[in-house]
Amino acid sequence: MPAKVSIRDLRKSYGGVEAVRGVTFEIQDGEIFGMLGPNGAGKTSTLECVIGLREPDGGEIDVCGIDARKHPQEVKQRIGAALQTTSLQDKITAREALQLFGSFYRHRVPAADLLKRFSLEEKADAPFDTLSGGQKQRLALALAFVNNPELVFLDEPTTGLDPQSRRELHGEIAQMKREGHTVLLTTHYIEEAEQLCDRIAIVDHGRIITTGAPKDLIAASKLTQLVSFETARPVDAAVLARIPGASEPAVDGVHGRFRTRDISRALPELIKGLEAQQVPLVGLNVGKITLEDVFIELTGSKLRE
């Protein structure tokens, strides 16, 4: 099937600052695609170019089979977006906002249905300035769904939310996928990307470093896993020397450790060596390579707030 979104060599500068530098990626129908990177990496600029809020300096943008640079209004009829900040008049109610936004589209979902879908029925007629942060974010999602979009863009949707509101919003995003919507999500929260996204693009300094499913990016990493263990009595360091591919071996009495890229081969060799010396193993820990480890490996730095 053709990609739902196809971006090729997208570029955007602000004065002498290159915010987006040759970004290329595709999003398949029905998947949640994440752009993971620190603030200032170029995620929001990329999203704003794709949905038509900013004019890119170059590149091709196809959305739902439409050339978005030539036909931006047609694209807007088929997408929904919730940006980092939703600014509405202080006294407009959730119901009024949904009715107003719905009037902009050829096809619209009744406000009552959206209020129910996003758990806003009790706040339907409350002024916007009385809503909590989580309620405002749920209203932003409801506004993104007024036209029952094929494709939904979410820009840092959980920034600033408390843990409970963030968890509720994660549930809403997962529900979008179950309902058949395609989602582009930008985030600087690694756990969020790993939990929600089918595939992610790691973005830094305006470029996409790599793209793939979180588990595939971890599996492809060249990082080594740390194995630490404890034995019933002191062990000979020669045990570790016989483990193929083991690096940084260290033994201190009953405690030992080493690093390896092939854990499935190293552990049986460790156990075999201990059994040969008749040294019982009483504790074992394998440090898991995380998506954050992969990010640091690829970019050279931790995610910046």
164-209: pLDDT as tens digits: 888 988 998 999 999 999 999 999 899 999 999 999 999 999 999 9
The percentage of the chain sitting over the pLDDT mark of 90, rounded to a whole number, equals: 73
Backbone angles phi, psi at 158, to 5 degrees: -110, 10
- What is residue 304's predicted lDDT score, i.e. its pLDDT? 54
Residue 112 has pLDDT above 50, yes or no: yes
248-289: pLDDT as tens digits: 999 999 999 999 988 899 999 999 999 999 999 999 999 888
Helix 133-144 and helix 163-178: axis angle, to 10°? 20
* Ordered domains of the chain (ranges, CATH): 5-214 (3.40.50.300), 224-288 (3.30.70.2470)
Q: Which residue reads 């970019």 in tokens?
A: 299
23-57: pLDDT as tens digits: 999 999 999 999 999 888 999 999 999 999 999 99
110-124, 135-149, 210-224, 291-305: range with lowest mean pLDDT: 291-305
Q: Which residue reads 């920034």 in tokens?
A: 159
The residue type found at 256 is: G
**Token reading at 50:** 């794709």
- Determine the 3-state secondary structure of 40 from DSSP: coil
Q: Which residue reads 């450790």 in tokens?
A: 257
* Number of helical H runs and strand E runs in the chain: 11, 14
Mean pLDDT over each residue of the chain, to the nearest integer: 92
